């Protein structure tokens, strides 16, 4: 570990994601999923706490300066029996931040204002609890960027190098463990994979890898976690080279300003699958076939001459299966309001098709379309006047629809110049 005298400010960003194909199937290791990284990123900057000469603090201070009163102070200590580091939240007011978290505009529907004309980040005049997320995978991007920043800050390059494949592998494994601990469950992990590696085909790791770990703070926890993170037993499969956007196409996302409770939806679908194995296996098997076709089309393109009929048919077929699953499980994977919006957007000339990504529900939809300004212009005309009559399941009403300023990005986690964030760190000091 680097000495305190050698610690220098570090900054890291990680991309959001859009889960294009393989939703729910990804929970089972028999299936793969297609996930695209996005050019909207979560940023984490870390630097020493400024103290008076001779004062030593065992504290970590985290701030999210885009939001009101978004600051947390923690104390830390080494536990006995190799149980790892114990972290305790503090309540006493402490001055400057050591870690700053910033999100690109597309993660939130809330209106915001820049601190300066050149700032890439917006100040949101709300508490973090009142922020309206657009469903781009902010939690996974945050955990990944935060973990990478902390490792880069406290370890030498010989111990951890984000630019090397071994560094990314360790980061991926540790971020998966951290994200699952934060969520209180072992998820599929596709969102962490895309945050680390960018766009990829993904097959999940065995849940037993994490569920068998001792509880944090328990004897030997640190030793066993390190052995798992740095060892070769992690059985995830990530194929980055197999994914590229077909020539002439791009992704666009449309925010519906609602959002879904994904964990509850997943539990309900899994319960339905357990109670109706034959029906579920039939639908999942058909979805798997569509996933293979869709993954291949995204990987190698679909003609390249403006004829994307094969890809259009695959998307339409997958949507039909998702609606069948939605009806059978009584889970709003593609709710009727989203069906209406997707159908209207898909009818725009130049739009190949679209889906409600991931677990579905009322998050932002994703569309695949020709990368032409006139296509975007026609799509904008449709969504700007879009209205849905009535409420959806659970009284959910789709709000104003708008095109998010994001597109696909093949790049995963990366280092950033700390000076990008200087005005925000100074503003909250």
Beta carbons of 238 and 33 less than 8 angstroms apart: no
CB 88 within 8 A of CB 227: no
385 and 367, same domain (yes or no):
yes
The Cα 323–Cα 319 span in angstroms is: 6
Instruction: Verify that 231 and 285 share a domain, yes or no.
Output: no
Residue 34: CB atoms within 10 A of its CB come to 26
Which pLDDT does position 95 carry in this prediction? 36
Whether 234 and 309 share a structural domain: no
Residues 95 and 188 in one domain: yes
Report whether 222 contacts 162 (CB < 8 A). no
Do 164 and 313 lie in one domain? The reply is no
| Residue 244 maps to a domain | no
CATH code for position 296 = 3.30.70.890
Tell whether the torsion through CA atoms of 64, 65, 71 and 74 is positive or negative: positive
- Cα dist from 348 to 252, 291, 303, 377, whole Å: 13, 24, 20, 10
Question: Would you tell me how many other CB atoms lie within 10 Å of the CB of residue 207?
Answer: 16
**Is there a single domain that holds both residue 230 and residue 101?**
yes
Are 314 and 297 a contacting pair, CB within 8 Å?
Answer: yes
**What DSSP assignment string belongs to 211-275?**
HTSPPTTSTTHHHHHHHHHHSS----EEESTT--PPTTEEEEEEE-S----HHHHHHHHHHHHHH
Residue 306: both structure tokens together: 């403006």
**43 domain residue, yes or no:** yes
How far is residue 368's CA from residue 246's CA, in Å, rounded to a whole number? 10
Residue 87 sits in the same domain as residue 213? yes
193 and 323 in a single domain? The answer is no
Clarify whether residues 132 and 263 are in a common domain.
no
On whether both 420 and 389 belong to a single domain, the answer is: no
- Angle 196-222-61 from CA coordinates, rounded to 5°: 65
256 lies in a domain? yes
Residue 89: give its domain's CATH number. 3.30.230.10
Are 388 and 399 in contact by the 8 Å Cβ rule? The answer is no
Residues 6+ apart with CB under 8 A from 372: 350
Same domain, 230 and 261: no
Residue 145 has what pLDDT?
A: 97
The pTM of this model reads: 0.86
pLDDT at residue 293, rounded to an integer: 56
> CA-CA distances (angstroms) from residue 418 to 35, 57, 60, 196, 247?
29, 23, 18, 20, 35
The CB-side HSE value for 260 (13 A sphere, CA atoms) comes to 28
Give the chain's domain count. Answer: 2
Residue 181 lies in a domain: yes
pLDDT, residue 96, reads 36
Q: 168 and 301 in one domain?
A: no
CA pair distance 246, 250, nearest whole angstrom: 8
pLDDT tens for each residue of the chain, 429 residues long: 555 546 889 999 999 999 888 888 888 898 888 899 999 999 999 998 765 555 555 778 899 999 998 988 888 777 878 778 777 776 554 633 479 999 999 898 888 999 888 888 999 989 998 988 877 889 999 999 999 999 999 899 999 999 999 999 999 999 999 999 988 888 889 999 999 999 999 999 999 999 889 888 888 999 999 999 999 999 999 998 778 888 899 999 988 766 555 667 888 898 999 999 899 888 888 877 666 655 555 554 444 445 688 888 888 988 998 999 999 999 898 988 899 999 999 999 999 999 988 888 887 899 999 999 999 999 999 998 887 665 555 556 666 788 988 999 999 999 999 999 989 987 555
Question: Residue 78: what pLDDT?
Answer: 79
* pLDDT score of 258: 61
* Secondary structure percentages of the chain, helix, strand, coil, to 5: 40, 20, 40
Range of the domain at 203: 4-239+411-428
């Amino acid at each position: 570990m680097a000495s305190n005298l050698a610690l220098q400010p570090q900054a890291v960003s990680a991309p959001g994601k859009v889960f294009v194909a393989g939703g729910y199937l990804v929970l089972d290791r028999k299936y793969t999923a297609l996930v695209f990284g996005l050019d909207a990123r979560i940023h984490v900057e870390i630097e020493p706490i400024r103290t008076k000469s001779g004062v030593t603090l065992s504290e970590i201070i985290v701030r999210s300066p885009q939001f009101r009163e978004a600051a947390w102070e923690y104390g830390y200590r080494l536990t006995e029996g190799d149980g790892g580091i114990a972290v305790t939240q503090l309540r006493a007011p402490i001055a400057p931040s050591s870690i700053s978290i910033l999100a690109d505009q597309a993660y939130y529907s809330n209106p915001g204002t820049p601190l300066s004309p050149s700032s890439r980040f917006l100040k949101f005049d709300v508490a973090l609890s009142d922020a309206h997320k657009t469903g781009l995978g902010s939690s996974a991007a945050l955990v990944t960027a935060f973990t990478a920043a902390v490792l880069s800050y406290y370890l030498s390059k010989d111990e951890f190098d984000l630019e090397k494949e071994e560094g990314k592998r360790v980061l991926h494994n540790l971020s998966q463990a951290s994200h699952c601990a934060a969520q209180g469950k072992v998820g599929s992990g596709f969102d962490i994979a895309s945050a680390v590696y960018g766009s990829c085909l993904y097959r999940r790791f065995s849940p037993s890898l994490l569920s068998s770990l001792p509880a944090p703070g328990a004897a030997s926890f640190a030793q066993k976690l390190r052995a798992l993170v740095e060892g070769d037993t992690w059985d995830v499969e990530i194929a980055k080279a197999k994914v590229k956007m077909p020539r002439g196409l791009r992704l666009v996302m449309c925010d519906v300003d609602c959002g879904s409770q994904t964990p509850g939806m997943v539990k309900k679908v899994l319960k339905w699958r357990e109670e109706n194995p034959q029906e579920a296996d039939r639908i999942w098997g058909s979805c798997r076939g569509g996933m293979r076709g869709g993954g291949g089309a995204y990987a190698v393109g679909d003609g390249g001459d403006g004829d994307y009929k094969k890809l259009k048919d695959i998307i339409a077929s997958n949507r039909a299966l998702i609606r069948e699953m939605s009806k059978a499980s009584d889970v709003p994977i593609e709710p009727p309001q989203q069906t209406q919006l997707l159908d209207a957007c898909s009818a725009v000339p130049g739009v190949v098709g679209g889906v409600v990504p991931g677990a579905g529900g009322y998050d932002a939809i994703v569309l695949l379309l020709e990368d032409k300004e006139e296509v975007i212009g026609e799509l904008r005309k449709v969504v700007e006047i879009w209205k849905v009559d009535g409420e959806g399941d659970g009284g959910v009403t789709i709000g104003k629809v708008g095109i998010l300023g994001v597109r696909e990005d093949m790049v995963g986690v990366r280092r950033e110049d700390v000076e990008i964030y200087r005005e925000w760190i100074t503003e909250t000091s």
